[in-house]
Structure formats: C-alpha cells, structure tokens
Amino acid sequence: TTQHIKVSELVQSLNMVLEPYPKQVPIFITVDPLVPPVFISEDLKIFRSALNFLTNAAKKTTNGSIQLNIYTSKMKESPKLVFECVDTGPGVELEVYPYLFRPFRETDVQDDGPPAVVQFTEAGAACAGNICSMVDSMDNSGLGLYSVAHQMASLGGEYGFRPREEGSGAIFWFSIPLVVPKNSPDSLHASMSSLGSFDM
C-alpha cells in the first residue's frame, strides 16, 4: 500500500537505525534541495532498500566514508527519485558483477574462481532467510542486494551498481517513479532549505 512519505522522516528513521549500527567510518545522508519534501510510494520498501545498501557498505568499508545521496533525475523522460549509496570500501571484483542482486549460497569454492552460484527456486528464495551458509566474503553482495532487487520490482523501480570513478569503492543505487501529492511543494528548498547533509 502506498503512503505519503516525508523525506525528512525517512532520513530521521535511517539515522536512528544507523546510529547504533557497528561501523568504522562515518555515514552521511545528503538530500538534494530539488527533492520534493513528500512523495508517494511504499515507505517500508524504500526504507529497507536504503538500509540494505548502507549496512552492506558499513560491513566492508574500513577507511573513508559512506554517503547516501537522494536526488531527482529524469530517466527515460520520466521523473525518478534516486537513492545512491557511495562507499570507499574495497570495491567489487569484476568476476562478481554477474552475481550481484541475485540470491546465492556457498556450495563449492574453487581455488581459481568465485564461489559457485546457485539460483534459488521461488520456494527456496522464500526460506532463504533460514539458510545460515550465506557467503559473506564477496564484497557488497548477498541477500541484502537481492532484497533490493525484489523490492524495486514490486515498485516499478530500477537498481544497479557501478565502481567509483576515482579510488576504490562502489556505488549502489535504486530509483523509483517520482509521484508527488497534489499541492505539495515542488522541492525541499521551498519548505525545508535547512535539510542537507546528515553526519553519522
């Protein structure tokens, strides 16, 4: 069920959860001034997806920082709300790229290659949370990313990954169709100009 989601409340909720979360680097949440203060979507799915990216990054990043950027973008001529998680961790190895956003479990680790990947059936995916042999050694991958893919599919959204252009690290992002309530301010700048960077 869709709700009216206040960006400020979403950011506050993320900050509350992340504050006690184990991490070795600061986490920043930055909202572009052009982002509308309220949008329509499913709040729990957006929250979980953003949190998955941030906690995955926190597990792997030991130097630098982690930043979640929230901004608007026109993709395929339609407005999108983009959530982009940038970290300065070790990055993702090239051979792992095809397996990102897929559920997997460790079945056979080869000396000369990545762990064998097993696609869960629909029933298997449903009970994947009970499988304790998840691979945690592959950077920024696992059921957390698969969960993002699943949530975005249900929201008509998109998701992806790219390496940072400078230095080590990774950028994971997702976007959803931007739907704004009627009579809502066009941007955060209009009513919440003080909302900017949040330091964790």
CATH number (domain holding residue 183): 3.30.565.10
Q: What is residue 153's predicted lDDT score, i.e. its pLDDT?
A: 92
pLDDT tier at 15, thresholds 50, 70, 90:
very high
Q: What is residue 180's predicted lDDT score, i.e. its pLDDT?
A: 94
Burial class of 25 by CB neighbour count within 10 A (0 to 12, 13 to 18, 19+):
middle
pLDDT tier at 105, thresholds 50, 70, 90:
very low
The total number of structural domains that make up the chain: 1
Burial class of 80 by CB neighbour count within 10 A (0 to 12, 13 to 18, 19+):
middle
Q: What is residue 129's predicted lDDT score, i.e. its pLDDT?
A: 33
Is pLDDT of 121 > 90? no
Is pLDDT of 11 > 90? yes
- The torsion angle over the Cα atoms of residues 54, 59, 61 and 63, rounded to 10 degrees, is 120
Is pLDDT of 97 > 90? no
Residue pair 168/148 in contact (Cβ under 8 Å)? The answer is no
Average pLDDT over residues 118-136: 33
Q: List the domain range (segments joined by +) for residue 80.
A: 3-199
pLDDT tier at 100, thresholds 50, 70, 90:
confident
Least confident of 57-71, 126-140, 179-193: 126-140
Is pLDDT of 31 > 50? yes
Least confident of 95-109, 138-152, 156-170: 95-109
* Strand pairing class (66-75; 158-163): unpaired
Least confident of 56-60, 72-76, 175-179, 194-198: 194-198
Burial class of 77 by CB neighbour count within 10 A (0 to 12, 13 to 18, 19+):
exposed
